[in-house]
Amino acid sequence: MIFQGSQGSLVLFWDNLLISGFPLGYKDYDYYKEIANELIVSSLRRNIPMKQQIQTYHCMCQITHKKKKNKTKLLRRDHELFLASALALVKLQIIDEEDVIFIAPRKKTSLHKS
């Protein structure tokens, strides 16, 4: 499900499959990127090697993709973990931002009356 905010939506894809959409408004794109930064830093503080972090983030994205492809119900937490993992991989320059992120402007409602 894609949630739309006052400024549109942050839409996430994996392997050309739409996975999640998050509202943009009072939470902007920088807010979501900060979630990934915090995930990386907190993992480093717990002495989790970077290579292991990358493998874990990639695995989380693959699992979420498989669930979505198989039409298995995704919980809100699944979407949040996918967001953090995908953006962490973007931050670490493992994947290209354009391959997973699309910022959709707010859908305009029609004011035309019949």
Helices (H), 46-69: 50-69
Domain ranges of the chain: 8-104
Q: Which helix (H) or strand (E) holds 84?
A: helix 76-91
Rounded CA-CA distance 22/58 in Å is 20
Tokens at 64, concatenated: 């979420």
> Does the pLDDT value for residue 88 go beyond 60?
yes
Query: pLDDT (tens digit, 9 = 90+) per residue, 21-35?
Result: 998 888 989 999 999
More confident: 78 or 8: 78
| Mean pLDDT (whole number) for 47-57 | 96
pLDDT of residue 97: 93
